[in-house]
Amino acid sequence: MKSFLAGFFGTIAAIVLLFIVFIIIIVSAIPREKPVTVKSNSVLKLSFNFDIPERSPKNPFEGFDGSGAAKPVGLKEIMESIEKAKSDDNIKGIYLDMSIISPGFATVEEIRNALLDFKKSGKFVVSYGEIYSQKAYYLATAADKIYLNPNGLIEFKGLSAQIMFFKGLLDKLEVEAQIFKHGKFKSAVEPFFLDKMSEANRQQVTTYINSLWDHVLNGIQQTRGIAVADLERMAGNLTIQNAGDCVEHKFADDTLYYDQVVDRLKELVKLDKKKELTFIALNRYVKTPAKKFKTALVKNKIAVIICQGSIESGEGDESTIGSEGTAKAIREARTDSAVKAIVLRVNSPGGSALASDVIWREVVLTRQVKPVVVSMGDVAASGGYYIACAADRIFAQPNT
């Protein structure tokens, strides 16, 4: 018996030891944060080929998948970096590495406005890409100069919406969907019981698509000097077919290869062509020191609560809105005498009606005590709007 117990506890001890060693190996494999310094005459390089969360993940294991890929940079940190670069004497300008970009139009709008503000400092913004998607091009129009690969293309064909319907498949499988909906504009479930768009859904989709497109056209007109009527005509006729068309119709300033763009940047920085131009990537620049405020000493505070992702019951995480976690955060802000107002940053397509109702109730209670203001990002649909509707004020981007 003694030998059995000795062997049993020895095995348990070995397993625990192996687990500790495994954790140590994982932790040691995570790259240590090194102080980042910006060299003189540097150019801040921005590219947005990743989904942009509202703020950078706090989880140190986020993005650690063995691929070496850097964790995504949040919108908050992007905006702070562009603002910081305005007064950074070592940053001479911004280079936009453009192609297909992932964020939604409202996020793009925030970044575009920040770039327009950055230019007021007298520093340059230059964009280059081989192929610009429409969304990437809209962002690029904030630049002083837009360059395109000689064999590249700028997509410019207008906006559209496509919906896939499953009713025919379900009928063949003899599956009947149980639908719960209220109101003729609640269209998310239409693909399961219709074989085409309802007139109500067609009306609302057409309305917001046209609104988005009008805003894009007006933005391009303001920065590129191309009349809205001409833009509409060229999109409708698919006028932009190649790089030459882009330059001819003022969509791009010139067609260049990457090395030629670097030479143009060297001229702007006043650097000898024989010397190497210094770029600093966004995911490194966010780590540079910034002005810090001693928030603990501030008596009057505004709490910012991020509501990002689908709405679910439970605590939630970086990519979901948990009813318990969010409700707790709102309650804590409500009972904190130092917090004078609350901003809910909503970027959500909705989710659980029950979870949304739990959060909505906390907003209702909080509004009776102190102001609650909602700021909307790319989307605030269904439950995303539900949790926002009880606020004192709601602010959205023109393309939310």
Hey, which residues are catalytic here?
Answer: 186, 382
| Cβ atoms of residues 372 and 344 within 8 Å | yes
Phi, psi at 398, each rounded to 5°: -60, -20
Q: What's the rounded Cα separation, in Å, for the pair 16 and 10?
A: 10
Comparing C-alpha atoms, which of 377, 394, 327, 284 is closest to residue 53?
A: 377
- Find the DSSP H helices in the chain: 2-29, 75-86, 105-119, 134-140, 167-172, 199-224, 228-237, 243-248, 258-269, 282-285, 323-335, 353-367, 383-386
Residues 342, 327: Cα–Cα separation, whole Å? 13
Q: Which residues make Cβ contacts (< 8 Å) with residue 49, sequence separation at least 6?
A: 99, 100, 101, 102
Task: Identify whether the C-beta of residue 307 lies closer than 8 Å to the C-beta of residue 391.
Answer: no
